[in-house]
Amino acid sequence: MASTSPLPTTVIGAFPKPDYVPVSDWFDLPDLDYAARWADEMSAAGDDAEGSFVRAAADVIADQVAAGIDVVTDGEVRRENYIHYHCRHLTGFDFEHRAEETMRGVLPVVLPTITGPVAATEPFLPHDWRVAQAVTDRPVKVTIPGPLTITDSTVDRHYGDRSALVADLAVALNAEVRALAEAGCTHIQVDEPVFARRVGDALAFGIDALATCFDGVPDSVTRTVHCCCGYPRFLDDEEYEKAPPSAYLEIAEAVDAVRIDRFSLEDAHRPNDLADLLPRFRDTTVILGCVAIARSRLETVDAAPIPRRLFLGAYSSAPIPRRLLLGAYSSMKVCSASPARTAFTTLPVAFRGSGSSRNSTWAGTL
């Protein structure tokens, strides 16, 4: 029998920036020098920048709440992208002397360099979380780039050893994760899409580094890991390069062994063999991405049974116009309110492993 209570909903992270935000969205840039503009844009905004970010966080959270989202984010409105904003708050990164590199193995870009030892500085994300949490009674989730993903989005000029760099990054990220937990944040997500691109590195040292990221975090915090398979370059781009179909299968059991609560993966643009994949997650709740993020067509809501203990989520780190994103959120609200409806081809399939019960029993995603 389907559940008669509303289904909880969340978003994965980013949201289209309001026009008044002084920081550019990386999908709107005229070139692929992702880290070139943030410092100049912040300098030009001056003392008005913080007010713009506070207003933007309130606006994007209001959109999410109006659409029925239960666990919201600030839309990452302060960030030029989800990776480099964090790197600017660590030692060892040089944003003035950038270098050309191929990101994700497919995209030639200009990236900041690492010129010295990486370490944490004063915590900064607790401030961002408090600002966002102050405008809503919904729990606010904070996202953090994973150590392996950071190495693929920067150019190493210091370590010469990816595993050593990943290890130092994990320790630095853990300091921020602990600071968030101590501040009261109960939903923390580490984004590691490069696990699907560098499977060998993920298995050799990346997953151990992921465990370090969450070391010492209390059970009161929901620990989520997000791993997508690539971004479209523009709306309705169906041919963009994706991670190989074997990636999730190769890392699933190793990820499941890490003490996390939820693992978010992609299944729309790059479908998986779910009969083979899902049973490999015995202890981890799977958040299954089922909606194609690169299409301008707003999918509708069709009648279908909903699995029990489903958690719906919207993935929005792609060049999606706000009107389409809000339409998708509204579809989720309809789905979450009715035990007899789910979205289109898609909205979530939930899977719960048959192993120990240390984690919660709800999952799913848009």
In this prediction the pTM is 0.85
pLDDT of residue 86: 97
Calculate mean pLDDT across residues 139-165: 97
pLDDT of residue 265: 87
Stretch among 123-127, 279-283, 306-310 having the lowest mean pLDDT: 306-310
**How sure is the predictor about 186, in pLDDT bands with cuts at 50, 70 and 90?**
very high
Rounded CA-CA distance 240/57 in Å is: 30
The single-letter code of the amino acid at 231 is Y
**How sure is the predictor about 270, in pLDDT bands with cuts at 50, 70 and 90?**
confident
DSSP for 316-347?
--SS--HHHHHHHHHHHHHHHH-TTEEETTTS
CA distances to 33, 244, 308 from 284, rounded to whole Å, are: 37, 22, 16
Q: Which two tokens stand for residue 194?
A: 């490069």
DSSP for 3-71?
--SPPPEEE-S--PPPTT-SSPPGGG-SSSBTTSSHHHHHHHHTTHHHHHHHHHHHHHHHHHHHTT-SB
Q: Is 73 helix (H, G, I), strand (E, B) or coil?
A: coil
Calculate mean pLDDT across residues 300-306: 47
**How sure is the predictor about 245, in pLDDT bands with cuts at 50, 70 and 90?**
confident
Rounded CA-CA distance 49/51 in Å is: 5
Stretch among 42-56, 74-88, 310-324 having the lowest mean pLDDT: 310-324
Residue matched to tokens 């999952």: 363
Q: Where are the domains of the chain?
A: 9-343
May I ask the CATH architecture of the domain 9-343?
Answer: Alpha-Beta Barrel (3.20)
Contact 13, 143 (CB under 8 A): yes
Q: What region, left, alpha or beta, does residue 273 occupy, with left being phi > 0 and alpha being psi -120 to 50 degrees?
A: beta
Contact 315, 346 (CB under 8 A): no
Q: Which is higher by pLDDT, 61 or 32?
A: 61
Q: Which is higher by pLDDT, 250 or 31?
A: 250
pLDDT of residue 306: 38
Pairing of strands 107-120, 90-103: antiparallel
**How sure is the predictor about 96, in pLDDT bands with cuts at 50, 70 and 90?**
very high
Is the pLDDT at 336 greater than 50? The verdict is no
Is the pLDDT at 198 greater than 90? The verdict is yes
Q: What region, left, alpha or beta, does residue 265 occupy, with left being phi > 0 and alpha being psi -120 to 50 degrees?
A: beta
**How sure is the predictor about 14, in pLDDT bands with cuts at 50, 70 and 90?**
confident
User: Helix 125-133 and helix 162-183: axis angle, to 10°?
Assistant: 40
Q: Which is higher by pLDDT, 100 or 5?
A: 100
Is the pLDDT at 347 greater than 70? The verdict is no
Which residue, among 143, 84, 144, has the nearest Cα to 114 in the 3D structure? Answer: 84
Is the pLDDT at 200 greater than 80? The verdict is yes
pLDDT of residue 349: 31
Calculate mean pLDDT across residues 25-35: 76
